[in-house]
Amino acid sequence: MRPMVSLLQTLTLSLFSHALAAACEYGWTAAPREFDGVPTTNFSSKCYRNAGWAQTLHECLEMCGTGASPTCPETLLESRFVATHALTSLYGYYWLGWHQYGGEAHCVSSNAELSAELVPVLPSTTGLDIGPEGSAPCVSTIAQQSRLATAPPGLWHAVPCHWRGTSRVDACICEKDSTPANVTAFLENIATLEAPADEFIATLRA
């Protein structure tokens, strides 16, 4: 009987693991329970999707669909996981949902909270240190570097919240969990966030 019990246990565990993955809709990737050997406690309930390319953070939000939003990694571990996930679609630069408004960090979805370990990674709002203060309140990052466990702070880059009028587009990575994204505050502030982008782009071209 032991071989049969062992077989049943294996099938049960396999089905249970499949059920965990199936908790995410088709086209979405479930966060693993561990990443780099560390439990993914703070983001294990999330689902992720590479949605394509967006020229604005607002456009990225629209591509994510109802209940989802551009990803806002809340810890360094989650940031590395998201970067690794981005590389599955050969993404280089991609939008983060984090942005700065009123001197504070905010996520497109107000459900997220920036951990203390990520505060040093949050860039200034000057954008590559060439734009006027406040001209680049949004954040983009590089997947190839951000996935590394030894990656230093500074891999999150301050960018304008839109790239209209340029050829640049950043990838859009979406996230969602059992609590639908609350994007009301972001939508109320988007015009203010995008307003300085033209000045930044003009400075970039000068």
Give pLDDT tens digits for 7-47: 344 333 333 333 344 389 999 999 999 998 999 999 999 99
Dist. CA 74–CA 40, nearest whole Å: 11
User: What is the number of other CB atoms lying within 10 angstroms of the CB of residue 143?
Assistant: 22
pLDDT at position 151: 55
As a whole number, mean pLDDT of residues 77-88 equals: 89
Higher pLDDT, 36 or 92: 36
Residue 147's alpha-carbon distances to 35, 141, 142, 190, in angstroms, are 11, 10, 9, 29
Q: Where are the beta strands (DSSP E) in 56-155?
A: 69-70, 93-101, 104-107, 138-142
Structure token pair of residue 188: 């109320």
Segment 50-75 shows an average pLDDT of 96
The rounded distance, in Å, linking the Cα atoms of 75 and 56 is 24
Answer whether 106's CB lies under 8 Å from 161's CB: no
Q: Is the pLDDT score of 4 beyond 50?
A: no
Contacts of 102 (CB under 8 A, 6+ apart): none
> What is the reported pTM?
0.83
